[in-house]
Amino acid sequence: MLNTAYTIREKRRACGYTQERLAQALGLTPAAVSKWETGQTLPDVTMLCPLAEALGTTTDELLGFNPDVSEERAEELLQPGRDALAQGDFSNATKLGEKAVQLHPASATLAFAAASLFMEIAQEAQKAVAASEPAERLLQESIGRAALARSIELFEVCRQDGSLEQREAAAFVLAGQYVLAGDHDRALEAARSIHMPQADPRIMEAAALAASDKLDEAEIIARHALKEKENDASALQDILSGIQKKRNDQ
């Protein structure tokens, strides 16, 4: 109740409303608003939607409900789908992934984890196509395309509603997925939406650890960062080689 009282008071102030003005907008008395903000009473259920609209928020936020779930809970909900995928049952893995998402449809964390699962389903289904009998090949291809599309849809949810870290990671993955889907304009848009730091913060972290004689920790961080840079350099070299090949073919 006190959390709701605090939220109503702060949202009202953020909107620049007095208690009298908010009460007038809702057709109530200022005393009713005052009781909400001091925690003496809660808004009537019939007033929640009008109140949320007036304050530019949601009923969930008014009541202190967090629609997100933890990373651990998200992985727990998706584990049956991962188990089905490990057994090569792509159809069931897809169904179980969707079932998990429906339990918490507003959770960006679950959406991100589920998008990763669907991406894995798409990849594994594509691998299975070559080894499938002709009668099964069309089904595997269909499952793979649908899983890729669903993965993109969920990663886009994360890019809009997730944390900064989730948005950045989702944009990075989406750039690659749109390339696979043949949508090069969206791939470029996703890639350009990533806000990379001016320098890798691990450089300064490793330097600080080394300066404080925490040499083992500094070495681990520096080696991991260097390895990633080498992988990035290798990927860029592959791209340059591909560009040259296309030019030669032309």
Q: How far apart are CA 240 and CA 230, in angstroms?
A: 15
Q: How far are the Cα atoms of 33, 34, 122, 194 from residue 7, in angstroms, in the given order?
A: 12, 13, 43, 33
Q: How far apart are CA 206 and CA 216, in angstroms?
A: 10
Residue pLDDT, tens place only, 46-76: 999 999 999 988 887 788 776 788 999 999 9
Q: What is the reported pLDDT for 7?
A: 86
42 phi, psi to nearest 5 deg: -105, 155
Average pLDDT, integer, range 212-237: 89
Q: Which distant-in-sequence residues (6+ apart) come within 8 Å of 124 by Cβ? A: 85, 88, 90
| Domains of the chain, earliest start first | 2-62 (1.10.260.40), 71-192 (1.25.40.10), 201-249 (no CATH)
Residue 177 has pLDDT above 70, yes or no: yes
Give the three-state DSSP class for 66.
coil
Q: For residue 140, name the pLDDT band (cuts at 50, 70, 90).
A: confident
Average pLDDT, integer, range 231-247: 90
Q: Which distant-in-sequence residues (6+ apart) come within 8 Å of 135 by Cβ? A: none
Q: What is the reported pLDDT for 192?
A: 87
Q: In terms of pLDDT, which residue wins out, 199 or 38?
A: 38
Average pLDDT, integer, range 179-207: 82
Q: How far apart are CA 130 and CA 121, in angstroms?
A: 15
Q: For residue 211, name the pLDDT band (cuts at 50, 70, 90).
A: confident
> In this structure, how many other beta carbons lie within 10 angstroms of the beta carbon of residue 88?
11
